Amino acid sequence: MTDKEILELYHSPDGSQQAFNLIVRQYSSRLYWHLREMVLNHEDANDLLQDTFIKAWNALPNFRGESGLYTWLYRIATNEALTFLKKERINSKFSLTSFEHKLIKRLEDDMYFSGDTMQMMLQREIAKLPDRQRAIFSMRYFQNMSYADIGEILGSNGDAVKASYSIAYKKISSNLKKLI
Amino acid sequence: MNEKENNKTFFNDPLDENKLHQIPFSVPDGYFEEFEERLNATLSGQKQDGKWGALLRTMKASLALAASFLIIFGLGWGVMHLTKNVQNRAELAASTAEDAVIDSLMQEYGAIEIAKFYESDEEIDERELYLDDDYLDAIGEYVESASASYNGVLAEDFK
């Protein structure tokens, strides 16, 4: 079912719950992996995914469909993750360990990490990026999203996103070359 | 050739490696299947809250402020009420002491004269018909000193 058909179902009498369930089924997995790449922890990604869909449910009556459902949901999820990470950074200012160290420690302790050494090295390098740049890198590198879509999600333009991704890519590539 | 050298040989740009484009995380078994159910349970809880729940959430800060004010007001009122009781008890103790002294004087010196001295609304000239000055002074001093010591004893009891 396309996004347009789902939205038509949503606006039909008694169709809202069914349409919402379809949205959840269609997008929960993709949004989860996006959030997981941002926060690097299953519990936090799960909470953020729930918050994302609750916000979407509350905002759906006012959704006019000017942007695609897909970018709209990604925008909510990305904002949730960025707000969460901002709070975490503020909290870590009062602790002795830096936020990057916390993220890396979280990654190393994660029982649901299923990658090899090289993938762990890559994740460590991604964790060192600023939050917004990490979101851009994750959406482009892992989910192969277009610069235009990423720009729409982040409220930026495609060229700025491309430049940011290019900087992140070179930084990570260079650091990985030194490590292997 | 060790693993490090092997990696250097096979790719110039490590990020070109296909494997690295895969997300290296997993989720607990059945996570996505159960997610929809958990989410719907959360949302139905939110719906049950309804308009009143939403209103309560909006007014949470105002309600907290009002509750704080009521607590402070209640504590203030309670303290004032308790203090007032203590004052009443002290007054009661004092009057009880005086009554006891008068009773004992009445027994000792003759009830009629002393009762008239304390209870009469008439002027002092009339009281002088029954008691001379020295006698009145002696009674006054005795009442004052005895009352003071009696107050001390009662105050101890009321602590």
Regarding an ipTM greater than 0.90, the answer is no
Domain parsing of chain B, residue ranges: 61-158
* pLDDT greater than 50 at residue B111: yes
The predicted structure's pLDDT at residue B1: 46
- Say if the Cβ atoms of B28 and A28 lie within 8 Å: no
Confidence of residue B9 (pLDDT cuts 50, 70, 90): very low
**Which of A41-55, B65-79, B95-109 tops mean pLDDT?**
A41-55
- The answer on pLDDT for B104 being more than 80 is no
Chain A contact set for B19 (CB, 8 A):
116, 118-119
Q: Do A122 and B40 touch (CB under 8 A)?
A: no
Beta bridge partners of B25: A113
Local confidence band at A53 (pLDDT 50, 70, 90 cut-offs): very high
pLDDT confidence of residue B49: 60
The count of other CB atoms within 10 Å of the CB of residue A49 is 26
Which residues have C-beta within 8 Å of that of residue A165, sequence separation ≥ 6? A136, A137, A140, A141, A147, A150
pLDDT of residue A59: 92
Percent of chain B surpassing pLDDT 90: 11
pLDDT digits (tens, 9 = 90+) for B112-142: 665 566 565 555 555 555 556 676 677 777 7
Q: What is the pLDDT of residues A83-125, one digit of tens each?
A: 999 998 888 887 777 888 888 888 888 888 989 999 999 999 9
For residue A52, give the chain B residue with the closest CA: B39
Claim: this prediction has a pTM higher than 0.90: no
CATH assignment at residue A127: 1.10.1740.10
Using alpha carbons, list the distances in angstroms from residue A61 to A7, A48, A79, A179. Answer: 10, 21, 20, 50
Q: Which residue has the tokens 């001379």?
A: B132
Highest mean pLDDT out of B3-7, B43-47, B109-113? B43-47
Could you give the CA distance from residue A74 to residue A54 in angstroms, rounded to a whole number?
Answer: 14
> Per the structure, how many domains does chain A have?
1
Q: Do A169 and B15 touch (CB under 8 A)?
A: yes
Chain A neighbors of B15, CB-CB under 8 A:
122, 141, 169, 172-173, 176
Span B25-57, pLDDT tens digits: 999 999 998 999 899 888 888 766 655 665 666
DSSP assignments along A42-84, one per residue: HHHHHHHHHHHHHHHHHHGGG---SS-HHHHHHHHHHHHHHHH
Q: Find the domain containing A45 and state its range.
A: 3-179
Band of residue A47 on the pLDDT scale cut at 50, 70, 90: very high
Between these two residues, A106 and A53, which has the higher pLDDT value?
A53
Q: Which residues of B touch A32 (CB under 8 A)?
A: 27, 32, 35
How far apart CA A60 and CA A7 sit, in angstroms, is: 9
- Which residue in chain B has the smallest CA separation from A176? B14
Interface list for chain B against chain A, based on CB atoms closer than 8 Å: 4, 7-8, 13-15, 17, 19-28, 31-32, 35-36, 38-40, 42-43, 46
Contact status, residue A137 vs residue A165, Cβ threshold 8 Å: yes
A180/B4 Cβ within 8 A: yes
User: Which residue on chain B is closest to A43 by alpha carbon?
Assistant: B27
Report the share of chain B in percent with pLDDT over 70. 46
Q: How many CB pairs under 8 A join A and B?
A: 81
Please state the rounded mean pLDDT for residues A138-149: 95
- As a whole number, the mean pLDDT across chain B is 71
* Residues in chain A whose Cβ is within 8 Å of chain B: 21, 24-25, 28-29, 32-33, 36-37, 42, 46, 49-50, 53-54, 57, 110, 112-116, 118-120, 122-123, 141-142, 144, 169, 172-173, 176-177, 180
